[in-house]
Chain A
Amino acid sequence: MLAFALRRLVQAIGVMLVVSLISFVLFRFVGDPVNQLVGVDTSPEERAALREALGLNDPVLVQFARFIGKAVQFDFGISYQFKQSVAGLIGQRLPATLELSFVSALFALLVGVPMGVYTGLYRDTWLARAFLAVSLIGVSLPTFLIGILLIFVVSVNLGWLPSFGRGETVRVFGSWTTGLVTASGLQSLILPSITLGLFQMTLIMRLVRGEMLEVLRTDYIKFARARGLSRRAINFGHALKNTLVPVITITGLQIGSIIAFAIITETVFQWPGMGLLFLQAVQSVDIPIMAAYLLLIAFLFVLINFLVDLLYVAVDPRIRIGEATR
């Protein structure tokens, strides 16, 4: 078990190194950093001095090592655009994105799994068919369209929920602000979460349904019936648990994508998260923010995958033993 975790950790570090390389190359070679920093009337001597001061004349390897050294300490330099430390900027925006992603993942799971189980168990009822039809919409409609539709119907026409922003936030500790404890914060969360989570929800629902249909045909389910176990024990104990491994995989991967692709939802709802920051950075070629964002998203992906691997082991004993005896 420990060896398994360690091996995964080494792999994770490898992935992070490769991503930092890409991020570094982006930082160093897309455009000239000095040009981004100074005005048009700066003399060539001053430029050369700045270049030397920034260490841009050092060998590439030394620069890369320095980049990694600083990245490990969360130092990604100064944003060209805001003239503030990138770490600070991201630190302010991170809570908004994480809260939004967490709530939409929760929504996707809590709604998607039961719907999947239901459509798997009672696949010929009209409700199951209705779920499937709705899921088709969720899979095929693009996120921004869903967001705009929701704003149009719920915010503009019905006036029930706010159409943009995070509502009132409360500082919890450090720079972490949360909208989860105020009424307006929670209200503001609803539409963006649904928008961001709808695709994942339908994906999970279809996945659970497919897995349920498969598992219900297996011999051990037939044997469980022959043993006279109750429907509940069979459906939720024996069948559902066997569908979990693929569901955990997909959910894990999807949480990564939710965080990474919150960009669109954040734009539609003017959600003050990292995605919006990233988009502003792209528009003004703010390389330090882009590089840091890339690293952060890669880190989250790697972290989530690592946790998913550990979860497998908790759910499926065969994986555990397979590792121990190999």
Chain B
Amino acid sequence: MTPTLSVRNLRVEIPTRRGVLTAIDDLSFDIAPGEVLGVVGESGAGKSITGTAIIGLLEPPARIAGGEIRLAGERIDDLSADAMRRVRGRRIGMIFQDPLTSLNPLYRIGEQLAETILTHERLSQRAATDKARRLLEEVGIPAAGDRLSSYPHQFSGGMRQRVVIALALAADPELVVADEPTTALDVSVQAQIITLLKRLCAERGASVMLITHDMGVIAETADRVCVLYAGRLAEIGPVRDVVKRPQHPYTHGLMAAIPTLHGDPDETLRQIPGAMPRLDAIPPGCPFNPRCDFAYGRCGSERPEPLDAGKSRAACFLHDADAAEAPPADTVRAARAVGLEVPQKVAEAAR
């Protein structure tokens, strides 16, 4: 089956005065029809840039410098500005982080909805207003008919995010890119919004690319998860596997850093030493190697490609069964001890 979204070797560059920064490097992933793909990573890992690149709204001077993006098999990264405008909203919907600033304060909710509907469908003004009302009802806004004439500031943050969802889904897109849709919201409202988004997309058969740094949201919502580190893919796989048995040392560190309720309360919180490199200082080889407990010789010079690792794929040489240079035996033992599925062949070759 053709994936709804297929990203191949995507490369996003930001030319600056001091040289070209590579914000996204050689990133590939697919999203199947109806699937929810979670995209996680630290701030600055390139999650949002990936989302905006897909919908064609990269802020200049950032630009797509390589690779391709296909929507239902059809290439969209090289479309003309006008053709891409017709894809936005109609075939790809996008939801931004802050519902308080996503809506134009000077227009009524109904006007903004009808405007979006009329941009994508040939309807009468009246039919558009009808559809706007139905959409508001669907996203769970009480007395939807009356609220059409309300202004954004008359809604609470959660309600505004519901309106934003209604706007993003107004033209029944095949893919919804949700960029941290709940980060700006009250914790009590977050779950409602995520549930709503997931239900509405499931009803419409839309795929979702859910960008967040909240692993809880990912664990509950996503089918698969993609972990980014410094603009590179670290690991991608089914959500259960990535959360329970992470295969990349970075993902493992990320998961270990999440405190649990049943843990020993006196235990110090685990953390990954150091910080993610800035875009102008990405180390050669594996970008994670200076912070990695398991790094060895080739990690500092060669760039790992995503490799099969358990049910996931991880960009780490510990999973490279055909490697000429094997990792030290200690490293293999330590990696296996924390659950990394180092292939037998690698373990045997280890000195």
Contact = CB atoms under 8 A, between A and B. Distances in A.
B168 interface: yes
B94, B98, B104 — which one has the most chain A CB atoms within 10 A of its CB? B104
Interface residues of A, number: 23
Nearest to B103: A220
A219 B57 contact: no
A37 interface: no
Contacts, number: 76
Interface in B80-117: 85-90, 93-94, 96, 98, 101-107, 115-116
A257 B152 CA distance: 36
B116 A227 contact: yes
A229 B105 contact: no
A223 interface: yes
A44 interface: no
A43 B57 CA distance: 88
A236 to B, nearest CB: 13
Given A220-B104, A242-B104, A242-B106, A228 B98 contact: no
A196 B94 CA distance: 48
Contact of B86 (A219, A226, A228): A228
Contacts of B96: 219, 222-223, 226
B151 A318 contact: yes
A137 interface: no
Contacts of A225: 57, 88
B102 A223 contact: yes
Nearest to B111: A237
Q: Per DSSP, are chain A's interface residues mostly helix, strand or loop, or mixed?
A: helix
Contact of A242 (B57, B88, B89, B105): B105
Given A218-B101, A219-B98, A321-B153, A226 B115 contact: no
B242 interface: no
A315 B106 contact: yes
A227 B105 contact: no
Given A226-B57, A229-B89, A230-B85, A241 B106 contact: yes
A233 B107 CA distance: 13
Interface in B159-210: 164, 167-168, 170-171
A316 interface: yes
Contact of A233 (B88, B102, B115, B120): B115
Given A219-B98, A317-B151, A227 B57 contact: no
A224 interface: yes
A226 to B, nearest CB: 4
Nearest to B177: A226
Contacts of A228: 85-90, 116, 119-120, 171
Contacts of B89: 226-229
A318 B105 contact: yes
Given A230-B85, A230-B119, A223 B167 contact: yes
A238 interface: yes
B88 A226 contact: yes
B119 A222 contact: no
A192 B134 CA distance: 57
Contact of A321 (B88, B151, B164): B151
Nearest to B104: A220
Given A219-B98, A242-B106, A233 B153 contact: no
A223 B86 contact: no
B170 A226 contact: no
B332 interface: no
Contacts of A317: 105-106, 151, 153
A124 to B, nearest CB: 10
Given A228-B171, A321-B153, 18 more contacts: A218-B101, A219-B101, A220-B103, A223-B102, A223-B103, A224-B104, A225-B88, A226-B55, A227-B88, A227-B89, A228-B89, A228-B120, A233-B115, A237-B115, A241-B106, A242-B104, A316-B106, A317-B106
19 contacts: A218-B101, A220-B105, A222-B57, A223-B102, A223-B103, A224-B104, A225-B88, A227-B119, A227-B167, A228-B88, A228-B119, A229-B115, A233-B119, A238-B104, A242-B105, A315-B106, A316-B105, A321-B153, A321-B154
